[in-house]
A = this chain, B = another copy of it.
Amino acid sequence: MSCIKTLKEKGLKLTPQRRLIVDAIHDIDTNLTAEEIITHVQARMPEVHKSTIYRTLELLEKYGCVFKSEVGERSVYHHVDERHHHHHLVCSSCGKTIECDEDFFTNLEKSLAEKYGFNVDFKHIVMSGLCEKCKNKNK
């Protein structure tokens, strides 16, 4: 429930709509499409407009409560786990998500910074590809 606290600390208003959105992110999976959030929220409070939801999600991202990432065309939101950061590997065939440790990326991050002076923002990247099952399926 730290999301609520974060909003309060920033002097933002705690509207019923926002509570519902925060609830959705906590209650359901950690891997939510915008559409799933909209459905969940509107099931309880049908008037809530999608733009309100997108705006709230944007806010929560801005204040570090959720991560937004693009998988294929759609946006997917991950509730931020304060204990440890991790990256996500999403299978483009079955949709399965694997959390992987951020250590894997630190080397790459470092060498790209050294060679090109470029600072990749890995927090906002979700890698897509094929998981083990789907890879073998296609053979």
Count the copies.
2
A14 at the interface (CB under 8 A from B): no
Residues 88-139 of A contacting B (Cβ, < 8 Å): 89, 91-92, 98, 100, 104-105, 107-108, 111-112, 115-122, 124-125, 127-132, 135
Task: Say whether, besides A70-B70, A124-B128, A100 and B119 are in contact (CB < 8 Å).
Answer: no
- In the bound complex, how far is the Cα of B104 from the Cα of A107, in angstroms? 9
**Chain A residues near B (Cβ < 8 Å):** 70, 89, 91-92, 98, 100, 104-105, 107-108, 111-112, 115-122, 124-125, 127-132, 135
The list of the 4 closest CB pairs from A to B, nearest first, reads A117-B132, A120-B129, A121-B129, A120-B127
